[in-house]
Amino acid sequence: MDIKKTLLWAIFTISAILLFDGWQKHNGQPSLFASAPAKNVVAKAEGSNKELPKVNAAGVPTANTAVVTKNSELLVLKNDVLELEIDTLGGVVTKAKLLKHLEEDKTPVVIFDRSAKRQYFARSGLVSASNVELPNHTQIFTATKNPAANSVTLVAEKNGVRLEKIYSLAKDSYVLEAKHVIKNVGAKNFDATLYTELVRDGEKLNESSFYSTFTGPAVYSDVEKFHKIEFSDIDKGKAKLPPAQAANENTWVAMVQHYFTSAWIPSTDATRELYVGKLDSNQYRVGVQTKIEPLAVGQEKTEALKLYVGPQQERELEGIAPGLELVKDYGWLTILAKPIFWLLEKIHGLINNWGWSIILLTILIKLVFFPLSAASYKSMARMKEVQPRLLEMKERFKGEPQKLNQAMMEMYRKEKINPLGGCFPVLIQIPVFIALYWVLLASVEMRAAPWLGWIQDLAKPDPYFILPVLMAVSMFIQTKLNPTPPDPVQAKVMMIMPIAFSVMFFFFPSGLVLYWVVNNILSIAQQWQINRMFSGKKAA
């Protein structure tokens, strides 16, 4: 029983520390587990001596670049799901609205936004190893629209190099096709590097204080696969990137936030190098440098890229680039979470309601683990059966812990009871239920998805707190069905825990709370039936 007590206190303490740490980070305070970020970081391409053009927090050129005074123009590309604004100053994609994903006020979700409040946009340009200024995001581009093809062509020329950006947006697509045509229109050969990058501030948006999802850059390569980069690691110069990618290797860079992402996906026909950096206070970037082979006079080279701006929908992301679906962050339990989400999708395809899909999925998982749960509840029922004898032993050997433990072990041996028999079956199930937790937390499909009655958005907390109250009641009933710990302090903690955990669930997405309520109700039914069976055997 001392082992159970120690485990209980350890879990309770760790949970409290993690909750406090999450609260600190949510309110802009430094994490308990990381030092304060560095104030000044030089933003250079990793593994390169080339300094990419800099901008200030407002997205305009700083003193070390050519300042353009001519007014720019905002162009709009739009289809049924996405609306983009493109600034002729640099050909920067400055705003992206997701027309099928709405905020509470029914306005579209805005991903890219270059304003006083938000800094998040996509841009591209050319740099030269010889420090000759080439067309980049600091220059005005001449624009031509093609409404029939839903495309816009932007052209700029500098020092004998012509850069043509052709942006086109297909119907019902979150992918902007971004073709870059580089042409030597000068009098001598030149070499250049094309950079395509995502720039973002380090702020998280609209998250609960009681849970946190990743926000920041992510990179992918065939060799090192997918990994995330914390803003704090960029601050401290500790960001790790894969080596330069040779031709015919897949790679991409992304900016990830809860439910949504953006990503530059280059072609595979050139050598590429990934980089991250800090541009200004609270302004970061991640990008790809593509080496352009030396061009003779009159020669041109076309680099075809894709810019994805949209929701983290696994099936769509899988078809765009290898590994892109991994931006939907399931953490270290991805190997379990992906098949769980696949099953949830299949159920939804049959009943067309995410709330009922969650309930049915929870029932199916509970059925799969029924034998393990039964073994656990049988062990707890046996422990409850011998509880009076344990209390009597505690009184008899008061002040003699060694004799008490010996007597308890002897009784367990005679009654063929494993005191930890109720723990191991539960431990085996924990990874599956944590994976299901992350599936429900990370899936954009839950956003604005109704269940029934008062639950009109499974991604938001229950507006009337009905599900959290049911959660607290179900946890209390489970506690009463379990054997009462002989230690009075442990017994009080067990009674307080349902209240403590229910407070967190008041702020959790209702889809998550629905899953826990259903799981608890099924557990109560199974545990009650097993307890009743043991009571009947005892009476007989």
428 and 305 share one domain: no
| Pairing mode of beta strands 190-201, 260-265 | unpaired
| E-strand stretches of 185-259 | 190-201, 216-221, 225-228, 251-256
Would you place residue 141 in the very low, low, confident or very high pLDDT band (cuts 50, 70, 90)? very high
Q: Which pLDDT score is estimated for 393?
A: 85
305 and 437 share one domain: no
On the question of pLDDT at 28 being above 50, the answer is no
Share of the chain above pLDDT 90, in %: 51
Task: Kindly state the tokens that stand for 21.
Answer: 């740490």
Average pLDDT over residues 328-349: 92
CA-nearest of 498, 537, 538 to 516 is 498
Considering 37-51, 176-190, 207-221, the range whose residues carry the highest mean pLDDT is 176-190
d(CA 248, CA 194): 17
Helix (H) or strand (E) holding 308: strand 300-311
Would you place residue 151 in the very low, low, confident or very high pLDDT band (cuts 50, 70, 90)? very high
On the question of pLDDT at 52 being above 70, the answer is no
Q: Which pLDDT score is estimated for 16?
A: 52
Q: Tell me which DSSP letter residue 325 carries.
A: G
At residue 515, what is the residue type?
Y
- Find out whether 474 and 466 touch, Cβ atoms under 8 Å: no
Helix, coil or strand: residue 276: strand
Q: Which pLDDT score is estimated for 532?
A: 74
| Pairing mode of beta strands 283-295, 190-201 | antiparallel
d(CA 459, CA 207): 11
On the question of pLDDT at 39 being above 60, the answer is no
288 and 385 share one domain: no
CATH code for the domain of 160: 2.70.98.90
Would you place residue 434 in the very low, low, confident or very high pLDDT band (cuts 50, 70, 90)? confident
Instruction: Give me the number of domains the chain comprises.
Output: 2
Position 353 in a domain: yes
Task: Kindly state the tokens that stand for 268.
Answer: 């595979």
Least confident among 295-299, 327-331, 402-406? 402-406
CA-nearest of 129, 112, 222 to 174 is 112
End-to-end CA distance of the chain: 29
More confident residue, 50 or 183: 183
pLDDT tens digits for range 441-475? 999 999 999 999 999 999 999 999 999 999 888 88
364 and 492 share one domain: yes
d(CA 224, CA 323): 11
- Find out whether 31 and 24 touch, Cβ atoms under 8 Å: yes
Helix, coil or strand: residue 103: coil
On the question of pLDDT at 142 being above 90, the answer is yes
Question: How many Cβ atoms sit within 10 Å of the Cβ of residue 451?
Answer: 21
Q: Which pLDDT score is estimated for 56?
A: 43
Q: Which pLDDT score is estimated for 279?
A: 92
Least confident among 45-59, 93-107, 406-420? 45-59
**Bridge partners of residue 303, in order along the sequence:** 180
On the question of pLDDT at 66 being above 80, the answer is no
- Burial of 353-373, coded b for 16+ CB within 10 Å and e otherwise, reads bbbbbbbbbbeebbeebeeeb
CA-nearest of 417, 537, 401 to 483 is 417
Give the DSSP per-residue string, 513-540: HHHHHHHHHHHHHHHHHHHHHHHHHHH-
Q: Which pLDDT score is estimated for 429?
A: 75
On the question of pLDDT at 7 being above 90, the answer is no
- What distance lies between CA 499 and its chain's CA centroid? 28
88 and 124 share one domain: yes
- Number of continuous H segments (helices) and E segments (strands) in the chain: 12, 17
- Burial of 303-332, coded b for 16+ CB within 10 Å and e otherwise, reads bebbbbbbbbebebbeebbebbbbbbbbee
Helix, coil or strand: residue 122: strand
Q: Which pLDDT score is estimated for 67?
A: 35
Position 323 in a domain: no
d(CA 96, CA 83): 6
Position 53 in a domain: yes
pLDDT tens digits for range 215-260? 999 999 998 899 999 999 999 999 989 888 777 889 999 999 999 9
* Domain extent for 198: 37-203+267-310
On the question of pLDDT at 25 being above 70, the answer is no
At residue 416, what is the residue type?
K
Would you place residue 36 in the very low, low, confident or very high pLDDT band (cuts 50, 70, 90)? very low
- Find out whether 479 and 494 touch, Cβ atoms under 8 Å: yes
More confident residue, 39 or 345: 345
408 and 296 share one domain: no
CA-nearest of 246, 250, 243 to 267 is 250
The pTM (predicted TM-score) of the whole model is: 0.80
pLDDT tens digits for range 74-132? 999 999 999 999 999 999 999 999 999 999 899 999 999 998 889 999 999 999 988 89
275 and 378 share one domain: no
Position 112 in a domain: yes
| Pairing mode of beta strands 260-265, 251-256 | antiparallel
On the question of pLDDT at 267 being above 80, the answer is yes
- Angle, CA 195 vertex, CA 239 and CA 305 arms, to 5°: 105
Position 226 in a domain: no
| 3-state DSSP helix/strand/coil % of the chain, to nearest 5 | 40, 25, 35
Task: Kindly state the tokens that stand for 433.
Answer: 């239920």
Helix, coil or strand: residue 374: helix
Helix, coil or strand: residue 184: strand
Position 282 in a domain: yes
Position 256 in a domain: no
Q: Which pLDDT score is estimated for 57?
A: 39
Q: Which pLDDT score is estimated for 196?
A: 98
d(CA 306, CA 223): 21
**HEC-encoded secondary structure of 453-503:** CCCCCCCCCCCCCHHHHHHHHHHHHHHHHCCCCCCHHHHHHHHHHHHHHHH
Between helix 387-396 and helix 370-385 the angle, nearest 10°, is 40
CA-nearest of 498, 519, 449, 461 to 210 is 461
354 and 484 share one domain: yes
413 and 508 share one domain: yes
On the question of pLDDT at 525 being above 90, the answer is no
Least confident among 10-14, 140-144, 443-447, 513-517? 10-14
Average pLDDT over residues 25-47: 40
Would you place residue 539 in the very low, low, confident or very high pLDDT band (cuts 50, 70, 90)? low
On the question of pLDDT at 491 being above 80, the answer is no
On the question of pLDDT at 45 being above 50, the answer is no
305 and 428 share one domain: no
Position 277 in a domain: yes
> Over the chain, what is the mean pLDDT?
83
Question: How many Cβ atoms sit within 10 Å of the Cβ of residue 338?
Answer: 17
300 and 424 share one domain: no
301 and 384 share one domain: no
